[in-house]
Structure 1
Amino acid sequence: MLLRFGVTNFASIRQPMEISFVASRAIKDRGPELFPVAPRRDALPVLLIYGANASGKTTVYSALRTMRSHVLSSFARRAPDARIEFTPFALDEESKDSPTVLECDFLIDQVRFHYGFEYDSKSYRREWLYSYPEGQPRLLFDRDVKTKTISFGKHLKGQNRVIESFARDNSLFLSAAAQYGHQQLSDVYHFFAHKLLFVGSSFTVDGTVKNLSGELDPRIISFLKMADTGIAGARFEKVATNKDQLDLYQDISKVLLPRILNSNEKFDGDFNFPSHTSKLSLGHLGANGKPVYLDFNTESRGTVRLIHLLQTALKALDRGGTLVVDELDVSLHTLLAREFVAIFSRSETNPRSAQLLATTHDTNVLSSNYVRRDQVWFAEKSVYGDTTLFPLTDMRTRGSDNLERGYIQGRFGAVPYLGSLSDFIRADSADDVDG
């Protein structure tokens, strides 16, 4: 379970910013069922981030996804001399010379962990991990690349010094430890690998079908029926790969592989390309009441993205993970978005305490009975071009307030300033005449 995520100097975020799933003690609103995480402390099942276009909402999504990518890939998939992808805040010179900081707090078996790291394009400058088994911080490790040292806490068992010898400046110690089977740290690695799931705003039909792995969860069909899409079934068919296409793949790969590996040796083996691919068709109710199956490629982009979203959401609900969605409103009608939030907010549909973190423009969700004031966050650009994150609880509000109306009226900020549309049209017309 994710409790908190913090980020500094990443893309549009310059100063330290954070979001928190920890419920406010001052809020007594009716809403979702909360998750007890400590004496007199609860966690929220859903956080929603609102803001104008280009305000930095997607930056939060990207930063958390980037943190996961560093943990999973920095040791196993990065060459020893490769540079680290580094995207600091670009609108001042100081930030370009400062590290990016990513950190988070999360629960594993009801024990809180705090993990984070700093990096630039050359190295991970610092990396640290603490646990809180009895409410007090317990050092597991603290790494300083500048001094080439790692301090290990007495409670971190295993071959720590051996693994330290393999960790490179451009790889995380946590990533290396997981690859070498460190039992304690593998549990932390597992959180990032299997408990954080992402659905971005961009997608492809082929990628969606591939992620379905040859089957469509029947609960997705039930949701599509409830959504009145006219879809009543699905079927997968195995389609043989064309032999000429396979031969072409083989020929191209034998030429490209030596170049990729920087080798002049000829590759005489065979590549194991799939002999069959999966073809998905969705059944639409016809005039006679029977389903007519249509190729998935003919479906609307909204339907494709909705299926991708539902498939990933079900994984989170089944595992008890955190689903992170960029632009929830891309594929969901506003009524479906409210129902989607409700699914994560009720114990009967969310028995494993899964969470939803979503960016959205859909203000109608703010009027849901399952949204409390401490679940609403805003992203806003300052006059210097950097993103500020702040919760609705920073404002003076009451539980009886109409949050949707208040947001649209600009009471909470984080909305675009449109000025006068008529002035814009007149200016545009004048440009056309002068041209």
Structure 2
Amino acid sequence: MLIRFEVSNFRSIRDRVEFSMVAVDRERAAARAVSGLGESLLTVAGIFGPNASGKSSVLGAMAHLRRAVAESFPAREEASLMQPFTLPRDGARVGEFVVEMTVAGVRFEYRVTLESGQVQYEGLFHYPERKRRRLFERRGSELTLARGLGTLAVARDLLAPQVLVLSIARQVGPSLVGDFAEELLSIQVWNASDDGYAAECWREAGGAAIALALMKLVDPDVDEILVDQPAAAEGSSGVAIVRRGSGRSMVCEVVDESGGVRRWFSVVPSVVAALTSGAVVVADDLDAGIHPLVVAELVRVFGDRVANPKGAQLVFASARTGLLNQLNRDEVWFTEKSEEGVTRLGSLAEFAGERVRKSENVERSYLAGRFGALPEVGGMARELGSVVDV
């Protein structure tokens, strides 16, 4: 499970921001206790804020780190490990990623520091019996390994300025390092522009009862999902929906469905993979073109112990404020831009301390401007009237 994530110098993020899945209100059923951690973790968290405030940058940083671990070896020099802050900042070229996750109930901490796209520092630690122990540390081209990780010594010969040790560890046999790498790579990444209804995304999910149940949320008449169908026309995805009603069935290509159905169809494989394995889903613009009741039901699924017995986590970005009252205060995060164009990220649970009551109508308070992170729309009609030639 994801514990927390930090990033600096990435897209609209200049200074360090931290995102956490540690529960503040631990007494409720939605908070999952992790005995080896001494904390309870959330299974749902949403990031809200104006357009262009940096929601996508926060989630994109998680996706970027995952991709770097997957691809930096053997891609070597072709890999790009940085997407630095996009506005001037006194020539700063250093960025950092930090992620903490549990593997089999044990806390792991991974850190990467980059300068000009090259790895300056990389380290992995774990906390058996809650004591911090080093698995490896890498400073430039110097690699130090814990005892028992002799098989990873080959990494010394494979290191390059843009190659991560964690990426190499996946290739050299089983170890605690490799286990953590696979946990990180199990994160399911989705955004509204994904062409996720292609056949390869559905080969594993297509026969799952949960996939069909999720599709019925948007269309109760869906009876079956067909994968690897012969292409009926150019541009066909090879995936089709079977609808049954009035004693007959109808096969419909997914590419011919509405935009909302296609988007939902594309997110379902990630949700199925997460719920069946206890993984993390990172979903940008989760509610784009999808009915709010469907999105609300998906949030409930991840928070329900029966529907989500393995503790899968949903981390999403949304501009739809109606979801705010469905979430607990520690499940809500806000982004906003400073005057310098820098993304700031904050938790509602930390806003003004205990004055954010559990019973508060968060949506109403947010729209009233109490928490900031609102678009500046006042006076737009007057401004447009001054520039439109009538």
Structure with max Cα Rg: 1
**How has the CA–CA distance of structure 1 residues 240 and 340 changed in structure 2, closer, same or farther, with 3 Å as cutoff?**
closer
Distance (whole Å) between structure 2 residues aligned to residue 386 and residue 3 of structure 1: 24
1:51 matched residue in structure 2: 49
Deviation per CA, 1:178-223: give whole Å up to 9, x if none.
22225222111111222x1111121237x53331128353433333
- TM-score (normalizing by structure 2): 0.91
Unmatched runs of 5 consecutive residues or more in structure 2: none
TM-score by length of 1: 0.82
Q: Which residue of the partner structure matches residue 189 of structure 1?
A: 181
Is 2:146 aligned against 1:153?
Answer: yes
Match of 1:130 in 2: 125
Q: Pick from 401, 406, 426: which aligns with 2:385?
A: 426
Q: What is the CA deviation profile of residues 52-98 of structure 1, one whole-angstrom value per residue up to 9, with x for unaligned ones?
A: 000000001110011011111111223xx44635321122243x442
Inter-partner Cα distance in structure 2 for 1:237 and 1:84: 34
* Cα-to-partner distance string for 1:103-153 (whole Å, 9 max, x where unaligned): 1011011110100111234521110111111212111111110xx322333
Match of 2:201 in 1: 211
Q: Which runs of 5+ in 1 are unaligned?
A: 246-276
The number of residue pairs the alignment matches comes to: 385
Q: Which amino acid aligns with 1:316?
A: A
Matching of residue 300 in structure 1 with residue 300 in structure 2: no
* C-alpha spacing 1:23/1:161, structure 2 compared with 1 (3 Å): same
* Other-structure match for 1:273: none
Matched with 1:90 is 86
Distance 1:424-1:240 versus aligned 2 partners, 3 A rule: closer
Q: For residues 345 and 132 of structure 1, what CA distance do their matches in structure 2 show?
A: 27
Contact 2:37 2:107 in 1 (8 A): no
- Conserved? CA contact 1:3–1:43, under 8 Å: yes
Look up the equivalent residue of 2:249 and give its one-letter code. Answer: P
Q: Distance in 1 between matches of 2:255 and 2:210?
A: 21
**Structure 1 segment 50-69 matched on structure 2, within 5 A:** 50-69=48-67
1:103–1:115 contact (8 Å) kept in structure 2: yes
What per-residue deviation string (whole Å, max 9, x for no partner) do you get for residues 297-354 of structure 1? 2101111110111121010000100111001111431111111111011110001111
2:34: which partner in 1?
36
Contact 1:130–1:138 (Cα < 8 Å) also in 2: yes
**Residue number in structure 2 paired with 1:139:** 134
Q: 1:289 to 1:9 in 2, by over 3 A?
A: same
**1:346-397 CA-partner distances (Å, limit 9, x unpaired):** 11000111101000112111222xx211110011101110100000012231
Q: 330-339 or 288-297, which moves further after superposition?
A: 288-297
AA partner of residue 123 (structure 2): W
208 and 407 in structure 1: CA distance in 2 versus 1, 3 angstrom threshold: farther
The residue aligned with 1:388 is 344
Does the 8 A contact of 2:198 with 2:238 survive in 1? no
Distance 1:290 1:46 in 2: 40
1:20 maps to 20
Q: Does 1:4 align with 2:12?
A: no
Cα contact 2:198–2:239 (8 A) shared by 1: no
Alignment-mate amino acid for residue 412 of structure 1: F
Deviation string 1:374-431 (CA, Å, 9 cap, x unpaired) is: 11001110111010000001223111110111111111111101112331331242xx
C-alpha contact (below 8 Å) 1:118/1:124 kept by paired residues: yes
Alignment partner, residue 177 of structure 1 = 169
Give the percent of matched residue pairs that are identical in Structure 1 and Structure 2.
Answer: 30
* Root mean square deviation, CA, Å: 2.4
Structure 2 CA distance, aligned partners of 1:106 and 1:226? 31
Among 245, 249, 257, the alignment partner of 1:291 is 249
Q: Give the letter aligned to residue 280 of structure 2.
A: T
